[in-house]
Every structure is written in C-alpha cells, then in structure tokens.
Amino acid sequence: MRTTRLPYVTFHEDPAEAETVSHRLMLRGGYVRKVAGGLYDFLPLGARVLRRVERIVREEMDRAGAFEILMPALQPAELWERTGRWEKYGRELFRLADRHDRSFALGPTHEEVVTDLASGLLRSYRQLPVTLYQIQTKFRDEMRPRFGLMRGREFVMKDAYSFARSKEEGAECYRSMQEAYFRIFSRLGLSVRMVEADTGNIGGSSSHEFMVLAPSGEDTVVFCPSCTYASNVELAGEAVHCPLCQEALDRTTAIEVGHVFDLGDRYSAPMAAGFLDPDGRETLFHMGCYGIGVSRLLAAGIEQSHDEAGIVWPVAMAPFAVAVLPLGGKDADLAGKALRIADLLEKKFPEEVLVDDRDLRAGVKFADADLLGFPLQVILGEKGLREERAEIKVRASGERHNVAISGLAEWIGDFLGSKGPVDTGLADA
C-alpha cells in the first residue's frame, strides 16, 4: 500500500477531548474519528487493526472447537421478559419500538437469543457439548461513554456461549475457553492477568476477568505478590491480606478485555431450554458465556505499548508491520531505486508493507511512522542506497540495523517470523 493512496490524516496537536493515551494517539494517528459520544468511525488504518484482532480471535475460537454464528443485533423484548432481564437490566439497555409498537432492544449481550436458538438446535445429549460464538456490534447506553474505544455505546464484542450436559462438562467448556483466551492475548502481544470476578448483570455461579494492567484502567485488581491469588476489587472487598497465604495484598488499575461466566441454569431454567438425556428425560443445559471486547482491545494494546512519540504496536495488531520510508533527495536515479526496492518488499509482504511515498521531509515521515506505531521502519536514504544498504529501525526498542539491500527481505521475514511460541498462561494463572 502506498501512503498517497491511503485516506488518512495525522494531527500533531493533541485533541482536547482525549483523556487517555490510547484515545489521543488513535485520534492523532487517524485510526478513528468521533461521530458522537461513544460512537466512532474506524478509518482505514483502524479498520485494519480491528480486522487483525478479529482474525486472531476467530482462529482461536475455531481451534477450541467453537462454531461461528451470527445473531441479530435487534432483539425482541419478549425474550428478555422470559428471563426477567427486560425489567432488571436497567437503563443501559437501548430500547425501541417498531412501527407496530412492539418492543425491542439493541443487544448489549445475547444470552436470551442464543438460549432460544440452542433449545431448538441442540435436542439430544449426543450433540453436546457445543460452544457457539459470534463477533458482532453491541449496544449499551453507558452512563459515561469515554476514553474512545474503551467504553463506547456501540462496540465490537466476541461473545461465545457453551451448552453442556452437566456441571462437570460445563466446567470443561469453561476451561477450554480460558485457554483460548490466554492464547488470543498472547498472540496479540498483550500481557494479561486473569482475576476472579463478580457475576454482575449476567449472573451465574463463577466468573473470571482478563485484565490488561495499565494506569488508565477503570478497574482495580487486587493481587498477591507471593502467590497466584488475583481478584477484581469488587469481589475482594476490603480484604488486605491474601486469603491463600496471608501476605499483604497489592492493587493496581487495569482494563477488562475479557470476561468468562459459568452460568449454570441461570438462562436455561427460565427459558426451559434443554435436551433429551439417554433415558429420554428433558434436562436443562448447563451454560457458560464468554466475552472479549474486540474494539476495546485496540485501546488496551496502545495503553500497554506506547512511548512519547506514539503507538508501539505489537506486531500482530499493527495495521502494517513495516513502513518503508524512501527519503527522496536530489538524485532522481536513487529516488527511483528506492521506490523499486519498496515495491519489491511490498510484493514479498503484500499485507504488511506501507510505502510512504509522500513528497515530504524525512523528519515528517519519521514522526508519522513513530506516531502510527509500525513495528519496523525501513529507511531508504541516498547515502545508504549508494552503498546498497538500508537502515531498519525497530520501533519498540529503537535499535537500528544497517542491512544490505540484498538481505532486506530475509531480515524482515525473520523478524516477522520470530514472534515466539504461544504461551497459554495457564501454568501461572
């Protein structure tokens, strides 16, 4: 992709409304644009990051054996009345009426719809367990939408729901989703902490949250410095000592990026949703539900990884892994050569290369590449080109490597391939 073809704009002033680093950098870098409070456009660069995150989430859900579905965002009130949540959910639920005056909600989550679906789809014990998931736009009339993608009124969530024959089988589904979550966050290059959590508006018996530790986080987690105990502050309450080893607890702010719930029959009972067991008896599903804030992950990624100059994307999240910066100059032959090298690199890494072909000063190109956060910058200046060499800057470390043009593609290929094995995190969870 060439920068001159890409409709985006960067700003060098800080937008007044942005209170967090991620919000500020996403607006400045032209990743998103505010439409109204809690509502954002994803511009081409932002949409690329979103698609990359979605792809990893999808791959890991599929690997865990879950099936992708897609449910409507618009949901009839009648389903919510069956679980009592039409009354209970409160003002966060966007409610509306159709032309016949029937009531609907814009889905903030999909337990009712999916339970209704499963009760018709999964009739026999032989079909179970099954986990269904979707990646979809959710709506919540948040009291305080803020921090850009962090707390929107419309946002992208991955929500999954498991249907099992028993409590034990439900626990296995739960564990397999936890594992998938660790794989997802690890592949995204995020370090997360799993904590015990409150079951809140969703209900059920147990729940864990996945937290990205960051100063701007709206949540607080409590953890033990000497053992594995970690909890959401709401659940830990006023406790000052670790319940496992009595050590004094620490606390820190964090961003909730994922949440898993063991629901039991919280939804299957009121909706009479179940299956026939081997003796032909009607039995309630043991359910679980599992959310990931897909669009919030963009903000969390930046909160965890940035510096004064801008975003420092983990490789897997970056809209492009490599920015090629031909620096121009007076020598037309060398300028032509720089563009030919850039084109060759783009052919070699078609999804990963952005060529900054703008007719601008080197300083502007460097500043924009730093702001936008591409993991590698390949700098093609006159002096280097005369010696058949390029400079590669690694955004995260600031390291610079002087690389022969003939070895450029291999160097980049090695870098992109060296993301390391996936850590499931369960060992120290």
Ligand X SMILES: Nc1ncnc2c1ncn2[C@@H]1O[C@H](COP(=O)(O)OP(=O)(O)O)[C@@H](O)[C@H]1O
What residue ranges bind Mg ion (CB under 5 A)?
A: 259
Residue 242 interacts, among Zn ion, ligand X, Mg ion, none and using kind-specific CB cut-offs from 5 to 8 Å, with Zn ion
User: Judged by CB under 6 A, does residue 46 bind ligand X?
Assistant: no
User: Judged by CB under 6 A, does residue 301 bind ligand X?
Assistant: no
SS3 58: helix
* 259 vs 286 by CB, closer to Mg ion: 259
The partner residues of 380 in beta bridges, in order of sequence, read 326
- By DSSP bridging, strand 230-232 and strand 250-264 are unpaired
User: Judged by CB under 6 A, does residue 259 bind ligand X?
Assistant: yes
Using alpha carbons, select from 132, 142, 304, 136 the residue that is nearest to residue 210: 304
* 23 vs 259 by CB, closer to Mg ion: 259
Residue, CB closest to ligand X: 293
The angle subtended at Cα 150 by Cα 238 and Cα 148, nearest 5°, is 135
Using alpha carbons, select from 211, 187, 159 the residue that is nearest to residue 56: 187
User: Judged by CB under 6 A, does residue 134 bind ligand X?
Assistant: no
User: Judged by CB under 6 A, does residue 142 bind ligand X?
Assistant: yes
Give CA–CA dist 333/338, Å, rounded.
9
Q: HSE (CB half, 13 Å, CA atoms) of 264?
A: 7
Residue 158 interacts, among Mg ion, Zn ion, ligand X, none and using kind-specific CB cut-offs from 5 to 8 Å, with none
Residue 85 interacts, among Mg ion, ligand X, Zn ion, none and using kind-specific CB cut-offs from 5 to 8 Å, with none
- Please, what is the minimum distance in Å from the beta carbon of residue 174 to Zn ion? 23
User: Judged by CB under 6 A, does residue 337 bind ligand X?
Assistant: no
Among 65, 200, 225, 243, binds ligand X (CB under 6 A): 200
Residue 244 interacts, among ligand X, Mg ion, Zn ion, none and using kind-specific CB cut-offs from 5 to 8 Å, with Zn ion
- Please, what is the minimum distance in Å from the beta carbon of residue 32 to Mg ion? 22
Quote the tokens at residue 377: 């910058």
Residue 337 interacts, among ligand X, Zn ion, Mg ion, none and using kind-specific CB cut-offs from 5 to 8 Å, with none
The angle subtended at Cα 77 by Cα 74 and Cα 81, nearest 5°, is 140
* Footprint on this chain of Zn ion (rule: CB under 5 A): 224, 227, 229, 242, 244-245, 247
- By DSSP bridging, strand 154-164 and strand 219-223 are unpaired
User: Judged by CB under 6 A, does residue 155 bind ligand X?
Assistant: yes
Exposed, middle or buried, 138 (CB in 10 Å: 0-12/13-18/19+)?
buried
Query: Phi-psi region for residue 244, left (φ > 0), alpha (ψ -120 to 50) or beta?
Result: alpha
User: Judged by CB under 6 A, does residue 90 bind ligand X?
Assistant: no
- Please, what is the minimum distance in Å from the beta carbon of residue 247 to Zn ion? 5
Q: What is the CA radius of gyration of the chain?
A: 24
User: Judged by CB under 6 A, does residue 147 bind ligand X?
Assistant: no
